[in-house]
Structure 1
Amino acid sequence: MRETIPGASQSKVIIAGGSYSATMVTWFKKLYPELATGAWASSAPLFAKVNFVEYKEITGQSIRLVAGEQCYNRIQNGIAKMEELFANKRGAEVKAILKLCDAFDEYNDLDLWTLFSEISDIFAGVVQTHNTGQIESVCNKIMEGEDDISGVAGYLLTQFNSNTCNLLTYKAIIASMMDSTFDNNIMRQWIYQTCNEFGWYQTSGSRQQPFGTKFPVTLYTQMCADIYGERFTNEFIYSQVQATNVLFGGLEPNVENVYFTHGQLDPWRAMGIQNETQATILPLYAHCKDFGSISDRDSNEMRASKEKFAQLVRQWISADSDVDSVANNKAKSFLNKLRN
């Protein structure tokens, strides 16, 4: 780019990214430190992990923090009631409440896991994208129900977006992921990366979250094999994820001049650098919510973080210019000696 923009051939480069692109920014600085003077990595997950239980833990913590214990408990109890009905061979009642299509097999583990994974992901999406009032609004809707299960189900039905029945079967998910046509959504490519490099499966492996026990890591590793081939065994997936951490350093990427930020509410922050000496954690903000210009709507902490980054950019450019100046003087001195 510097070569194609008039007058920019000697310009300093500052790179920035949010979420996945923040990961790429960090790794770019690790692999090519001489090409960028500095970087801003907002909400960067850096540690690859197969069984990413912390994601749903922080999702639950954020709901509790923003909307209170009552909402957290309603979600937890409503989902637990659904699990109980399935366990007691009363799954037909859940199918009716959630308007699931006839193809859903209440006795098939993969279908059950797919359903509860989808339910948990709906709540996680609310938290990850939270703006002021967003989590609170969802909780208000949930609390309108006459009991826990009807409150949770009532909200979920507003999110499933089907006028007939909701097709939430494992087979349907796999069929969607097998569609390799150009205009299909990007999830096939993203899931491949998780199978081959990152893991990051947001499972029910922890009891410190309100979304139940029915979306284990097996759901996601099985999905890898069924979509991309038998090469994707558990051993292969775990080995690939470990290799990613070895290559890029995990939570110790060993990079300079990178400013790390995370939102306190963001479930992804568990896979990022959170040490207060290395990163800024923004209270009550979610995923990549600082990735914009200074605004009157910014909290004091948000504004201070953006101003800190601006100051860092000035420092980095100044220091880099000083290094270039020293290097240029040494080069000139060397050339003068050659001429003499």
Structure 2
Amino acid sequence: MRILLLSLCIFLFINKNINAWRVFHHGRMVGGNIGKPFHYRSSKLKTIPEKWFMQNLDHFNPGNDQKWKQKYFVNEDFYRGSPSGPVFLMIGGEGEASDKWMTQGAWIDYAKVYKALCFQLEHRYYGKSHPTPDLSTKNLQYLTSQQALADLAFFIQTISAQYKLNDDVKWIVFGGSYPGSLAAWMRMKYPHLVHGAMSASGPLLAEVDFKDYFRVVDEALATSSNTCATAVRQGTTQVEILLRHMIGQRNINEKFKLCDPIDQNINNTNDVSNLFETLAGNFAGVVQYNKDNRIGKGRSNITIDSLCEIMDNDSLGPPIDRLAAVNTMLLDAYNQTCLDYKYDKMIKQYRNVSWGSETSEGGRQWNYQTCTEFGFFQSSAYSPQNFGNRFPVNFFIQQCIDIFGPKYNKDFLDASVRRTNTLYGALNIDVTNVVFVQGSIDPWHALGITKTQSLGAPAIYIEGTAHCANMYPQAADDPPQLTAARIQIAELINSWIRL
């Protein structure tokens, strides 16, 4: 009963009847990796209207004078009109920018203390910021982190002139997940415009085969129970066994509520890979966002403990039945009737180039960025591993080819990732006035800076917290180490402003 109530109480921030691989795909939750913060008094919070900024389509081609409208928000409530600032800028990422971030979250708490003028700029190609008529592969050439950084630079220059800010104004940028990387890169690439940066959960190392992702997931499960990860591995092995014969396949159809039955003598390896990756994603999505305060007071969240409570419950049957129970809990939580694992159906969705398509919320765009800049493919290559070995890195590279064309093959990806690491320095980034914040449970910390490399760019590694946890509103039950991290960040911001 407790688990049933837990699944019914989960805060739904996605549309009904959305398919499983669209809920959590490539380490990205639908809507973006930074969910909207939820405040128990959100109905009383101020509504911040959308504003629009005329932006350059291509910052690196002087012969291209095309413009487009980029969405942004501003909150002047804490600002005292001083021409010397400070000014806080929250960087948008791989999802729609939300006005809810303009009135809550840790950065707003800091803004109240330091009387900051606050802006949030939506990332090009996400949300309502549409630079091109559609999302064709040709048009997506303008979707790069370099263009996004230049968007921020031109925005800062224009806003500074509009508000008649002094040249010595202190702009502090904030970002979490991919925008966490952008925040650090912004300080490195445009130090004359950005004085400091808070980089939360930023994956600074581009990597085609991100096999350590599921290593961290396994380790996170072990923090809840010594037997939880073992039960997951046993359940996965039992799925493998049932796939080998017709009766077993029928059992899988029923247990996991598959939208399309597995055919006898199944030979579509991509379908099988998609099935196993989706089952693994059931756990990865929960681990990545474990107790991150995106839901808020009075609401429950499915946590690592919830998963392990099921996986350790012998009364539910053998491990495969417990694995199926986890799957059912998440299907129910996201208002889904069945688990969609068919590879061709997925590819067809991601090939849709219309702004009105289901994947235009950011799925197609983020796929493009992973296929052209970052990789970040969470493969099953890590060993020993509890989710099987059915989704190797080649499975993800094939998706790049099938969605965007034969050009986006392994050689292209390898070269693209090398280029990204060359441009930004990866984990050897040379920067000051940046604080790198990572959580031990967050699988993305494996690609980030977790130890201080220089006094000018300290790292805060928060034990027991997940993806971007420090950015969300405070809660009474926050662990002491999370509270301490927020205080340390505030002190660093204060030191930057006073420099």
Give 2:339's aligned residue. 166
- Would the aligned equivalents of 1:103 and 1:169 in 2 still touch at CA under 8 Å? no
CA RMSD of aligned residues (A): 2.0
Instruction: Give the one of 460, 473, 477 matched to 1:297.
Output: 477
CA pair 311-102 structure 1, distance change in 2 beyond 3 A: closer
Shift of 1:301: 1.8
CA distance in 1, matches of 2:184, 2:468: 15
- Give the 5 Å matches for 1:1-340: 1-5=159-163, 10-65=168-223, 67-87=224-244, 90-102=248-260, 104-105=262-263, 106-131=266-291, 134-144=303-313, 145-160=316-331, 165-183=338-356, 184=358, 185-277=361-453, 278-292=458-472, 296-319=476-499
Shift of 1:165: 4.3
CA pair 235-146 structure 1, distance change in 2 beyond 3 A: same
- Determine helix, strand or coil for the equivalent of 1:281: strand
Shift of 1:206: 1.0
- Would the aligned equivalents of 2:174 and 2:198 in 1 still touch at CA under 8 Å? yes
CA pair 18-91 structure 1, distance change in 2 beyond 3 A: same
CA distance in 1, matches of 2:489, 2:339: 46
CA pair 87-246 structure 1, distance change in 2 beyond 3 A: farther
- Would the aligned equivalents of 1:104 and 1:169 in 2 still touch at CA under 8 Å? no
- Determine helix, strand or coil for the equivalent of 2:243: helix
Alignment size in residue pairs: 318
Give 1:324's aligned residue. none
CA distance in 2, matches of 1:129, 1:268: 11
- Would the aligned equivalents of 1:53 and 1:205 in 2 still touch at CA under 8 Å? yes
Query: Larger relative contact order (C-alpha < 8 A, sep ≥ 6)?
Result: 1
- Would the aligned equivalents of 1:99 and 1:165 in 2 still touch at CA under 8 Å? yes
- Determine helix, strand or coil for the equivalent of 2:497: helix
CA distance in 2, matches of 1:275, 1:7: 35
AA aligned to 2:306 is S
Shift of 1:103: 5.7
- Determine helix, strand or coil for the equivalent of 1:285: coil
CA pair 8-146 structure 1, distance change in 2 beyond 3 A: farther
CA distance in 2, matches of 1:264, 1:255: 23
AA aligned to 1:152 is L
CA distance in 2, matches of 1:189, 1:83: 33
Shift of 1:27: 1.0
Shift of 1:7: 5.6
CA pair 174-261 structure 1, distance change in 2 beyond 3 A: same
Give 1:326's aligned residue. none
CA distance in 2, matches of 1:61, 1:219: 24
AA aligned to 2:328 is L
CA distance in 2, matches of 1:87, 1:201: 27
- Would the aligned equivalents of 2:371 and 2:413 in 1 still touch at CA under 8 Å? yes
AA aligned to 1:170 is Y
Which piece of structure 1 moves more, 179-188 or 29-38?
179-188
Give 2:91's aligned residue. none
Give 1:337's aligned residue. none
CA distance in 2, matches of 1:286, 1:97: 30
- Would the aligned equivalents of 1:130 and 1:285 in 2 still touch at CA under 8 Å? yes
Shift of 1:163: 6.3
Give 1:331's aligned residue. none
CA distance in 1, matches of 2:177, 2:321: 34
AA aligned to 1:125 is G
- Would the aligned equivalents of 2:250 and 2:261 in 1 still touch at CA under 8 Å? no
CA distance in 2, matches of 1:206, 1:142: 22
AA aligned to 1:50 is V
CA distance in 2, matches of 1:228, 1:259: 36
Bigger helix fraction = 1
- Would the aligned equivalents of 1:294 and 1:306 in 2 still touch at CA under 8 Å? no
CA pair 298-93 structure 1, distance change in 2 beyond 3 A: closer
- Determine helix, strand or coil for the equivalent of 2:192: helix
Give 1:338's aligned residue. none
Determine which structure has more spread, i.e. the larger CA radius of gyration. Answer: 1
Which piece of structure 1 moves more, 163-172 or 197-206?
163-172
CA distance in 1, matches of 2:400, 2:482: 39
- Determine helix, strand or coil for the equivalent of 1:209: coil
- Would the aligned equivalents of 1:104 and 1:111 in 2 still touch at CA under 8 Å? no
- Determine helix, strand or coil for the equivalent of 1:39: strand
TM-score normalized by the length of structure 1: 0.87
TM-score normalized by the length of structure 2: 0.61
Which whole-Å deviations, capped at 9, do the CAs of 1:121-156 have from their partners, x for residues lacking one? 111000001018711112223334211000111221
Shift of 1:315: 1.6
CA pair 99-302 structure 1, distance change in 2 beyond 3 A: closer
Which whole-Å deviations, capped at 9, do the CAs of 1:40-85 have from their partners, x for residues lacking one? 00101000001100001101100111x2112111111101110122
AA aligned to 2:352 is D
AA aligned to 2:341 is L
- Determine helix, strand or coil for the equivalent of 1:34: coil
- Would the aligned equivalents of 1:23 and 1:45 in 2 still touch at CA under 8 Å? yes
